[in-house]
Amino acid sequence: MIKNILSFSKSRWYWLGLLVLSINFEAIALFYQYGLEYAPCVLCIHVRILVLGIFTISILGILFFQNNNILFLAHITMTGLMAGLFERSYQLFGTERGFIDGGCSMESGLPNWFALDKWMPLIFKVWEPCGYTPELLFGVTMAEALIVLSFFLLMISSIFIISLIAARVAK
């Protein structure tokens, strides 16, 4: 079982899947923003930034899938990104449902050396305060879908890290 998990975690298919998923996440977000005119809040922008990180690490995973050291660092980074994605999704879900209050502002909170909201405002500019997210399909809101998907991705990433560490310890 661990060999199968390790094999998949080191394959280009895993990294390509994450790349396609991150492109789809961003495309859906931009479609809702510009096509359906749902303005993004600060938490939505944070999610976009984390998805950009997933996109970037996925490319590295595709390029360096045969280098075990780089791949291990990519998996650790990906697990951190997935944990951040889950936390931001939880904040978004909690804000939408009303059990978290005061977590939003009109400022992105990004430092000057990483001012994506100024460099690429069409994608990363905060347009409105948090409150609700649009409905996707079958009454499921974007926050509900994000929290489920981010939890699932975090679990997969965590299993891969545990498997990689177990394989290193066993050597």
- Say which CATH number the domain at 67 has: 1.20.1550.10
Per the structure, the count of domains in the chain is 1
Q: What is the pLDDT of residue 37?
A: 87
Residue 170 pLDDT greater than 80, yes or no: no
In the structure, what pLDDT confidence band is assigned to residue 108 with cuts at 50, 70 and 90?
low
Per residue in 19-39, pLDDT (tens digit) is: 999 999 999 999 999 998 888
Q: What is the pLDDT of residue 103?
A: 62
Q: What is the pTM of this model?
A: 0.87
Task: Identify the domain containing residue 32 by its residue range.
Answer: 2-170
Percentage, residues of the chain above pLDDT 70: 92
Q: What is 66-115 written as a DSSP string?
A: T-HHHHHHHHHHHHHHHHHHHHHHHHHHHHHHTSS-S---SS----GGG-
Q: State how far the Cα of 11 lies from the Cα of 162, in Å rounded to an integer.
A: 17
